């Protein structure tokens, strides 16, 4: 099942990229494996998937001890500053930095670990009060402080638009994030201002996200099936 799903997702990624005049290799798949057992994760690994995203630190820590060391891990859940040490230890990239306190804590622990740590700034592009993320108009100020006062490598921006069963409803939000990234890149606020990463798009709308410039798509249900509680 996982191998076939992965093949279909890769085909969709390639087709969506080509339709937008982009190189399919410029889009990476983050396999969202929260609540997914290691048996299914290993099926994805055997089919060539190496990049995975987890939402919960303890669950991820347990899985990582039973999975190949060569895998790459992104943290994509809400992060509290008091959990920054464990996040810095476990993950290669933290996609959900949205406050200075979290960024400072991650930087402090990464320095103590002597570990390079990359991050995305999470932007609440839909201005939803129940969601995490810095508001678009506050992103520049936060990025300037992180870039100026930490050693964190700022790869780009991440967002989750308001949910809609119609993926086309997500398009304006993806476009807005891309425009925000272009503006912030003009101020030299990213690790690479010519290749800013955009983490956007999930199982229901990742094809549209790619058309709007996503460089990472976070896909779980379409790959592993409906999650178990």
Fold of 2-224: TIM Barrel (3.20.20)
pLDDT at 229 over 80: no
pLDDT at 113 over 90: yes
pLDDT digits (tens, 9 = 90+) for 173-211: 999 999 999 999 999 999 999 999 999 999 999 999 999
Q: What is the pLDDT of residue 61?
A: 97
pLDDT digits (tens, 9 = 90+) for 29-63: 999 999 999 999 999 999 999 999 999 999 999 99
pLDDT at 169 over 60: yes
Q: Supply angle C-alpha 155, 54, 11, rounded to 5.
A: 75
- Contact between 93 and 76 under an 8 Å Cβ cutoff? The reply is no
What pLDDT band is residue 227 in, cutting at 50, 70 and 90?
confident
Q: What is the pLDDT of residue 117?
A: 98
What pLDDT band is residue 120 in, cutting at 50, 70 and 90?
very high
pLDDT digits (tens, 9 = 90+) for 139-156: 999 999 999 999 999 999
Short-list 12, 74, 72, CA closest to 210: 12
- φ, ψ for residue 47, nearest 5 deg: -90, 5
pTM > 0.75: yes
CA dist., res. 133 & res. 141, Å (int): 14
């Amino acid at each position: 099942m996982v191998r076939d799903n992965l093949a279909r997702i890769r085909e969709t990624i390639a087709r969506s990229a080509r339709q937008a005049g982009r190189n399919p290799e410029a889009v990476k798949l983050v396999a969202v494996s929260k609540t997914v057992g290691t048996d299914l994760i290993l099926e994805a690994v055997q089919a060539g998937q190496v990049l995975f995203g987890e939402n919960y630190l303890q669950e991820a820590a347990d899985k990582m001890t039973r999975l190949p060391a060569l895998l790459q891990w992104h943290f994509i859940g809400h992060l509290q500053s008091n959990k920054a040490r464990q996040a810095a230890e476990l993950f290669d990239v933290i996609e959900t930095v949205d406050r200075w306190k979290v960024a400072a804590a991650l930087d402090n622990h990464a320095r103590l670990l002597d570990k390079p740590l990359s991050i995305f700034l999470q932007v609440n592009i839909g201005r939803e009060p129940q969601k995490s993320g810095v508001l678009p108009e506050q992103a520049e100020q936060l990025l300037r402080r992180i870039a100026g006062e930490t050693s964190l490598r700022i790869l780009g921006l991440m967002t989750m638009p308001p949910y809609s069963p119609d993926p086309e409803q997500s398009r304006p939000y993806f476009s807005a994030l891309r425009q925000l990234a272009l503006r912030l890149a003009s101020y030299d606020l990213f690790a690479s201002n010519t290749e800013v990463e955009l983490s956007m798009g999930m199982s229901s709308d990742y094809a549209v996200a790619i058309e709007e410039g996503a460089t990472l798509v976070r896909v779980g249900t379409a790959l592993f099936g409906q999650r178990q509680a």
